[in-house]
């Protein structure tokens, strides 16, 4: 079944908060681009299907740095994570995969073990969506950068109700300590059917992949979660200062 998992890496964004016009995928951690770290981790999974890299902003720079011998999909406009995943569809053969695993390019420390745990839970439970979550003690010290993550909102039965983006969250929701590091697996057929229903009715006017959780909940689909044991894996530096902090934490 793992041979039926297609990994999609979202690498279309720009590093504007890094004070750079370069693609964020090319930001350096320990002298190597974020995207290179993720591709190396994916290699260790020994999956049959080659990962699809969704590129957009200054994609020619990614080609220059990493070569063109990758399976690239093109996102002409950067209209959100849902839009980015939709852009990968053209590169995916529906006959060759049953599940889509989505990773963002600004997760350079994502581990092989976390991805394997996610895949195992997804396949064992036959869930429609399985996602990683991170439970924090607080948003202090080096964890300050995580405060902008989407919050996991659960219902009275402790099941996921929705993910609310920080910019759209109210004050109570912002206090939630379980956050979304944006690592998901979807059943392919369900994903392609429902991604068309995403709307951009939010503060960013973007198509959020996270809205698929609410759609699945309303449809009564099974949603599973896997905790990320090492909080460092969740760090997604958005500024030079946050990147410097991450450099000091990596050993």
Tokens representing 42?
């994916």
From 210, 192, 187, 184, select the one nearest 80 (Cα to Cα). Answer: 210
Tell me how far apart the alpha carbons of residues 182 and 152 are, in angstroms, rounded to a whole number.
11
From 161, 181, 215, select the one nearest 106 (Cα to Cα). Answer: 181
Domain membership of residue 100 as a residue range: 2-249
Q: How much is the pLDDT for 15?
A: 65
The one-character DSSP state at 51 is P
Q: How much is the pLDDT for 228?
A: 92
Cβ–Cβ < 8 Å for 134, 179:
yes
The number of domains in the chain is 1
Q: How much is the pLDDT for 20?
A: 76
Residue pLDDT, tens place only, 140-172: 998 988 999 999 999 999 989 889 989 889 999
Rg (CA), the chain: 17
The torsion angles phi and psi of 209, rounded to 5 degrees, stand at -65, -30
Tell me how far apart the alpha carbons of residues 151 and 39 are, in angstroms, rounded to a whole number.
27
Where the chain has pLDDT below 70, the residues are: 1-3, 15-19, 93-96, 251
Tell me how far apart the alpha carbons of residues 3 and 55 are, in angstroms, rounded to a whole number.
24
Here the CATH number for the domain that contains residue 137 is 3.90.550.10
Q: How much is the pLDDT for 48?
A: 87
């Amino acid at each position: 079944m793992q041979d039926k998992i297609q990994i999609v890496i979202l690498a279309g964004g720009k590093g504007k908060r890094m004070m750079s016009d370069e693609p964020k995928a090319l930001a350096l951690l320990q002298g190597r681009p974020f995207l290179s770290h993720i591709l190396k981790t994916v290699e260790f999974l020994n999956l049959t299907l080659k990962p699809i890299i969704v590129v957009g902003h200054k994609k020619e720079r990614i080609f220059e740095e990493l070569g063109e011998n990758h399976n690239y999909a093109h996102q002409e406009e950067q209209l959100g994570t849902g839009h980015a995943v939709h852009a990968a569809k053209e590169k995916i053969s529906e006959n060759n995969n049953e599940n889509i695993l989505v990773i963002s390019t600004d997760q350079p420390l994502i581990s092989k073990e976390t991805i394997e745990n996610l895949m195992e839970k997804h396949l064992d439970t036959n869930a429609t969506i399985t996602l990683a979550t991170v439970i924090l003690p607080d948003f202090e010290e080096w964890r300050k950068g995580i405060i902008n993550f989407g919050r996991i909102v659960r219902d009275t039965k402790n099941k996921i109700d929705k993910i609310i983006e920080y910019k759209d969250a109210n004050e109570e929701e912002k206090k939630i300590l379980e956050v979304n590091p944006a690592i998901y697996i979807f059943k392919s057929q369900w994903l392609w059917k429902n991604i068309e229903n995403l709307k951009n009715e939010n503060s960013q006017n973007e198509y959020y992949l996270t809205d698929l959780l609410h759609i699945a909940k309303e449809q009564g689909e099974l949603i599973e979660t896997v905790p990320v044991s090492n909080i460092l894996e969740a760090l997604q530096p958005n500024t030079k200062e946050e990147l410097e902090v991450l450099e000091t934490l990596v050993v």
